[in-house]
Amino acid sequence: MVGNIDIKKMVAFEKIQDLLVKNKSFVLEAGAGSGKTFTLIQTIAHLIAEKGKVLSYNNKKIVCITYTNVARNEIVERLEYNPLLEISTIHEFLWGTVKNFQSQLFDEICLLNEERAVTKPDKYLPDLKNRVKFLQVTYADIGYRDFEKGRLHHDDVIEIAANLIEKYPLLTKIVVDKYPYIFIDEYQDTSPRVVDALLNSMLFIDNPKICFGFFGDSFQKIYDGGVGTMASYIDENKLFLVEKSENYRSSAAIVKFLNKFRTSLQQVLPSERNRISGSVSFINCDNYPPIVKGQNKTDYEKSLQPYKDANYDKIISSLESQGWNFGKNSEDKILIIANSRVAERSGFGKLYKIASSKYGEGATEQIIKREHVLIKFFTGSVDRQSGVERGDGLEHLIEYYTSGDYNGIVSFLNSNGSEIISGPKANRYFKLVKHEDKQRIFDTIDKLQSLRLGSNIGSVLDYLIENNLLALAEPFARYLEKIAVLPADIPDPDERIRHEDNIKFYTSVRELPYNEIIELFKFVKNETVFSTKHGTKGDQFRNVLVIIDDTSWKSMYNFQNFIGGSESIEERFLRTRNLFYVCSSRAKENLVILSLSEMGEHALTNVQSWLGKSNIFSISHFR
Ligand SMILES: Nc1ncnc2c1ncn2[C@@H]1O[C@H](COP(=O)(O)OP(=O)(O)OP(=O)(O)O)[C@@H](O)[C@H]1O
Q: What is the position in ligand 1's atom list of the atom closest to the CA of 585?
A: 26
Question: For 246, which DSSP code?
Answer: B
Distance 9 CA to ligand 1 centre (A): 22
Which CA distances in Å does 233 have to 120, 224, 237? 34, 20, 6
Cβ contact 463:451 at 8 Å: yes
At residue 531, the pLDDT reads 62
Residue-wise pLDDT for 387-429, tens only, equals: 667 889 999 999 999 998 888 888 888 888 876 665 555 444 4
Q: Report the number of secondary-structure helices (H) and strands (E) in the chain.
A: 29, 14
Most confident option among 93-97, 386-390, 527-531: 93-97
Cβ contact 208:179 at 8 Å: no
- Kindly tell me if the per-residue pLDDT of 142 is higher than 80: no
Give ∠ CA 465-515-303 in degrees, rounded to 5: 125
68: left (phi over 0), alpha (psi -120 to 50) or beta: beta
Pocket of ligand 1 (CB under 6 A): 30, 32-38, 217, 220, 248-249, 537-538, 585
Using pLDDT thresholds of 50, 70 and 90, give the confidence band for residue 1: very low
Nearest CA to ligand 1 atom 23: 33
Length of the chain: 623
Distance 39 CA to ligand 1 centre (A): 10
Look at residue 146 and give its three-state secondary structure.
Answer: strand
Residue-wise pLDDT for 452-492, tens only, equals: 999 999 999 999 999 888 888 888 999 999 999 999 998 88
At residue 205, the pLDDT reads 82
Whole-angstrom Cα Rg for the chain:
26
Closest by CA to 255, choosing from 600, 623, 622, 584, is 584
Cβ contact 32:249 at 8 Å: yes
What percentage of the chain has pLDDT greater than the value 70?
90
Peptide bond into 208 cis (omega under 30): yes
Q: How far is Cα 374 from Cα 457, in angstroms, rounded to an integer?
A: 10
As annotated, the binding site for ATP includes: 30-37
Look at residue 268 and give its three-state secondary structure.
Answer: strand
In sequence order, the 6+-apart residues with CB closer than 8 A to the CB of 433 are none
- Longest Cα–Cα distance of the chain, Å, equals 80
Distance in Å from the first CA to the final CA of the chain: 59
Output the CA torsion sign for 61, 62, 67, 72.
Answer: negative
Question: 29-38, 223-232, 244-253: which has the minimum mean pLDDT?
Answer: 223-232
Ligand 1 pocket test, pick from 11, 13, 14, 34 with the greatest ligand atom count within 8 Å of Cβ, gives 34
Nearest CA to ligand 1 atom 7: 35
Question: For 565, which DSSP code?
Answer: T
Q: How far is Cα 507 from Cα 510, in angstroms, rounded to an integer?
A: 5
Q: What is the position in ligand 1's atom list of the atom closest to the CA of 30?
A: 21
Cβ-in-10-Å burial (0-12, 13-18, 19+) of 502 comes to middle
Q: How far is Cα 537 from Cα 33, in angstroms, rounded to an integer?
A: 10
Residue-wise pLDDT for 180-206, tens only, equals: 999 999 999 899 999 999 999 888 888
Q: How far is Cα 123 from Cα 114, in angstroms, rounded to an integer?
A: 11
Instruction: For residue 592, list its beta bridge partners.
Output: 281, 545
**416 or 235: which leads in pLDDT:** 235
CA torsion 41-42-44-49 (nearest 10°) is 140
Look at residue 229 and give its three-state secondary structure.
Answer: coil
Nearest CA to ligand 1 atom 9: 35
Cβ contact 379:517 at 8 Å: yes
- Kindly tell me if the per-residue pLDDT of 5 is higher than 70: no
Distance 73 CA to ligand 1 centre (A): 16
Average pLDDT value for the chain: 88
Nearest CA to ligand 1 atom 31: 35
- Kindly tell me if the per-residue pLDDT of 4 is higher than 50: no
Which CA distances in Å does 503 have to 196, 358, 462, 483, 487? 43, 11, 16, 6, 9
Distance 68 CA to ligand 1 centre (A): 16
Nearest CA to ligand 1 atom 13: 249
The predicted model gives 582-608 an average pLDDT of: 95
Nearest CA to ligand 1 atom 26: 32
Nearest CA to ligand 1 atom 28: 249
Q: How far is Cα 444 from Cα 464, in angstroms, rounded to an integer?
A: 9
Ligand 1 pocket test, pick from 78, 186, 220, 249 with the greatest ligand atom count within 8 Å of Cβ, gives 249
Q: How far is Cα 230 from Cα 234, in angstroms, rounded to an integer?
A: 6
Query: Checking DSSP bridges between strand 85-88 and strand 62-65, what pairing results, if any?
Result: parallel
At residue 6, the pLDDT reads 45
Distance 396 CA to ligand 1 centre (A): 29
In this structure, how many other beta carbons lie within 10 angstroms of the beta carbon of residue 35? 17
Ligand 1 pocket test, pick from 42, 248, 534 with the greatest ligand atom count within 8 Å of Cβ, gives 248
- Residue 90 has, within 13 A of its CA and on its CB side, a CA count of 31
Amino acid at 620: S
Nearest CA to ligand 1 atom 18: 35
As annotated, the binding site includes: 30-37
Cα 230 to the chain's mean position, in Å?
20
Residue-wise pLDDT for 310-358, tens only, equals: 999 999 999 999 999 987 678 898 887 646 667 877 889 899 989 988 8
Look at residue 592 and give its three-state secondary structure.
Answer: strand
Distance 34 CA to ligand 1 centre (A): 5
**What is the ipTM metric for this complex?**
0.97
Residue-wise pLDDT for 238-260, tens only, equals: 999 999 999 999 999 999 999 99
Q: How far is Cα 415 from Cα 381, in angstroms, rounded to an integer?
A: 14
Nearest CA to ligand 1 atom 30: 35
At residue 447, the pLDDT reads 93
Ligand 1 pocket test, pick from 11, 13, 38 with the greatest ligand atom count within 8 Å of Cβ, gives 38
At residue 335, the pLDDT reads 83
What b-and-e string marks burial along 282-309, b requiring 16 or more CB atoms within 10 Å of the CB? bbbbeebeeeeeeeeeeeebeebeeebe
Distance 36 CA to ligand 1 centre (A): 7
At residue 537, the pLDDT reads 52
Distance 536 CA to ligand 1 centre (A): 14
Which CA distances in Å does 569 have to 535, 549, 552? 26, 18, 17
Cβ contact 603:563 at 8 Å: yes
